[in-house]
Amino acid sequence: MSRLAAYIVTAPGLEQVTAAEMARLDLKVVDLGVGGLTASITWSQLMLAHLHLRTATRILIRIGRFEASGFGDLQAGLKEIPFHEWLPKRCALNISVSASASRLNHTGAIEERVRAVVRRSYDPAYEYEGGVHTLHVRMSRNICTVSIDATGDPLYQRGWRTESGPAPIRETLAAALLQWSGASTHKGVLTDPCCGAGTIMIEAAQMARRMPAGRNRSFAFENWMPVDPAQWSKLLAASDADVRGPLKKKYVARDLKGDMIAKAQANAERAGVLDDIVFEVGDATKLFNGPTGGAGLAVVTNPPYGERLSAANQRALYLELGKAERLAVVAPTSSLPSFKREFDDTLATSNGGLAVQFARVAFSG
């Protein structure tokens, strides 16, 4: 069985979370780096990873590695790579080059050599039947590594969140918070009182029902030459057959704004979990006075912060959220004390470039 050298990109800080998720899918991690993991996987595992991994950003497959101290070496090394065995003839090709601590450091000149060997172009005005693909060429200490992006649009673009508010959490991060905190295996009801586009509860409901994360979208690898479409269809059918029925205990997604609730509902419908979540308009500063409030609440949330809220309102909101029996939050580090809660654990990561912290208490994560 031929194996692929995979590099699984994840948000910095989430490496262990992604490694744990990969272990649950029987994907063997070879090495853990910063912002990524290397793994040796089969073709069917590449498909499985794209369908089910929730916390990873993308997957690259290494197709060549050689030493190159000059353009002659570069060209010779590139010619050894069977690009035509990977990429369809009529495809568009992006080439992303990075260079550090190497004699060859002119990225434009490197790209030119690569394009001359691969003989694929990219005109955004043209519709390529073989899809759009990206080659990553990395020169580091005179070693050239050539990888091909298997994913296409990043994995946090699940396909169902076409409506959102001003500060949505990435789907991959929402999934990571649920997995890292232990909320994803919590037997009872989960509540997000500041749900925005509904991302956290939608991810939670999909996980509880074993719905594949990648079912609402396509991937770059589907157009690769060695991919067997029948194998992919078989995997999709098997994953669909594994989906559990609707949740008996519905999750709760609430927001102060009615228009956000409407967007969250539309997203949940596209994600196939509309019936698994109760959507309500409500003020989270009154969480424990509300009709479904009270002790015993398991809250997973990404509350508003910064310019969107006055400092006093933020403190009042966080204080109320801090009263939940079980709590998993993502928020800036500086605002964690406002919850007035002793957290069991925290984890530093970033949400689309913004430094944030996960914090959890009383879940069995």
Ligand X SMILES: C[S@@+](CC[C@H](N)C(=O)[O-])C[C@H]1O[C@@H](n2cnc3c(N)ncnc32)[C@H](O)[C@@H]1O
For the purposes of burial, counting CB atoms within 10 Å of the CB of 265, is it exposed (0-12), middle (13-18) or buried (19 or more)?
Answer: middle
In angstroms, give the least distance from the CB of 159 to ligand X: 15
| Contact with ligand X (CB under 6 A) among 84, 249, 257, 340 | 257
Q: Does 335 bind ligand X (CB under 6 A)?
A: no
| Contact with ligand X (CB under 6 A) among 317, 324, 328, 331 | 317
Stretch of 36-44, 106-114, 137-145, 165-173 contacting ligand X, by CB under 6 A? 165-173
Stretch of 2-10, 21-29, 164-172, 333-341 contacting ligand X, by CB under 6 A? 164-172
Say how far apart CA 78 and CA 6 lie, in whole Å: 19
Q: Does 157 bind ligand X (CB under 6 A)?
A: no
Q: Does 256 bind ligand X (CB under 6 A)?
A: yes
Q: Does 302 bind ligand X (CB under 6 A)?
A: yes
Say how far apart CA 336 and CA 326 lie, in whole Å: 15
In angstroms, give the least distance from the CB of 24 to ligand X: 24
**Three-class secondary structure of residue 281 per DSSP:** strand
| Contact with ligand X (CB under 6 A) among 168, 214, 272, 365 | 168
Q: Taking Cα atoms as reference points, which of 57, 86, 267 lies closest to residue 153?
A: 57
Q: Does 293 bind ligand X (CB under 6 A)?
A: no
In angstroms, give the least distance from the CB of 305 to ligand X: 7
R_g of the chain computed on alpha carbons: 23
Q: Does 150 bind ligand X (CB under 6 A)?
A: no
Between the CA atoms of 304, 306, 307 and 309, what dihedral angle is there, to the nearest 10 degrees? 50
Q: Does 285 bind ligand X (CB under 6 A)?
A: yes
DSSP H/E element including 30: strand 29-32
In angstroms, give the least distance from the CB of 89 to ligand X: 40
What CA–CA distances, in Å, run from 139 to 59, 103, 174, 301? Answer: 19, 9, 34, 41
Tell me the backbone φ, ψ of residue 272, rounded to 5 degrees: 80, 20
| Contact with ligand X (CB under 6 A) among 5, 29, 167, 262 | 167
Stretch of 127-135, 220-228, 299-307, 340-348 contacting ligand X, by CB under 6 A? 299-307
Say how far apart CA 280 and CA 200 lie, in whole Å: 15
Q: Does 284 bind ligand X (CB under 6 A)?
A: yes
**Three-class secondary structure of residue 116 per DSSP:** helix
- Output 272 or 303, the one with its CB closest to ligand X: 303
| Contact with ligand X (CB under 6 A) among 194, 253, 261, 299 | 194
Tell me the backbone φ, ψ of residue 4, rounded to 5 degrees: -115, 140
Q: Taking Cα atoms as reference points, which of 130, 136, 172 lies closest to residue 154?
A: 172
Find the DSSP H helices in 216-306.
229-241, 258-271
Q: Does 14 bind ligand X (CB under 6 A)?
A: no
Q: Does 304 bind ligand X (CB under 6 A)?
A: yes
In angstroms, give the least distance from the CB of 272 to ligand X: 18
Q: Under rule CB under 6 A, how many of the chain's residues touch ligand X?
A: 22
In angstroms, give the least distance from the CB of 183 to ligand X: 14
In angstroms, give the least distance from the CB of 307 to ligand X: 12
Q: Does 255 bind ligand X (CB under 6 A)?
A: yes
Is the separation of the CB atoms in 232 and 223 below 8 Å? no
Query: How many other CB atoms are found less than 10 A from the CB of residue 31?
Result: 9
Q: Does 203 bind ligand X (CB under 6 A)?
A: no
- Output 165 or 182, the one with its CB closest to ligand X: 165
What CA–CA distances, in Å, run from 287 to 26, 192, 361? Answer: 40, 11, 18
100 forms beta bridges with 140
Contact residues toward ligand X (CB under 6 A) are: 164-165, 167-169, 193-194, 196-197, 199-200, 255-257, 260, 283-285, 302-304, 317
